[in-house]
Structure 1
């Protein structure tokens, strides 16, 4: 799926216009009220995501599991965290997506090398 993010980020006026909308949308999604980060919502059924999860350091992996378990418990209780414990926008950094992108690039490079054909010059 193509992303408009690079196009938007290269135009400061468009970034300034859409940043409040993006912040509102992230707040309205509700995952921050449960203490989650956006990358905690990535579906783990993808092979690339599973590899990326394996590459996380021990602390980040533990923190992810803690956030997800706490969110599930809150969801079952139909509660949200106190406002002071919500994930702040500056804390909602991408920690898994860069690893997934790196793995996709590695897979594409491996695929290209696997289908490399050798041409002999006479």
Structure 2
């Protein structure tokens, strides 16, 4: 799971509480709309820092089609940024299209890394 700067994710707690969910959902939608990545045709997972080893391994697990689509979105957004203009409105990413396609792969890699670390530090004791 991806964590914030303090190493703790409050998302499961907020989602489990109807009151907190009602409070934070409009703020989250406003923030996502204000960050402008959708106006450049990007998905949220396109913004993940690629230099992290977990993300590098997750990117290698994408299907060829997903990898091509990701590269296309990033190149198209870069070109729009060079022109100092977002894409036409019909090419913006709609909120319902903004799915987390890379997150399951990153979480799987993080689980494997933790499991590998656990097995690498396993002590065998003789009876």
TM bracket, shorter-chain basis: over 0.9
What is the number of equivalent residue pairs in this alignment?
121
**Unaligned stretches of 5+ residues in structure 1:** none
Task: State the match for 1:75 in structure 2.
Answer: 81
TM-score if structure 1 supplies the norm length? 0.96
Cα root mean square deviation, aligned: 0.8
Q: Which runs of 5+ in 2 are unaligned?
A: 1-6
SS of the equivalent of 1:101 reads: helix
Question: How far 1:20 sits from its partner (Å)?
Answer: 1.0
* Post-superposition offset of 1:113: 0.3
Please tell me whether residue 35 in structure 1 is matched to residue 44 in structure 2. Answer: no
**Shift of residue 26, structure 1, vs aligned partner:** 0.3
Q: Does 1:90 align with 2:96?
A: yes
* Corresponding residue number in structure 2 for 1:3: 9
In the TM superposition, 1:37-76 aligns within 5 A as 37-76=43-82
The structure 1 segments of at least 4 consecutive aligned residues displaced by more than 3 Å after TM superposition are none
Question: What does the per-residue CA deviation read over 1:83-117, in whole Å, with 9 as the maximum and x for residues that have no partner?
Answer: 12111111111011221111011011011001101
Q: CA deviation at 1:18?
A: 1.1
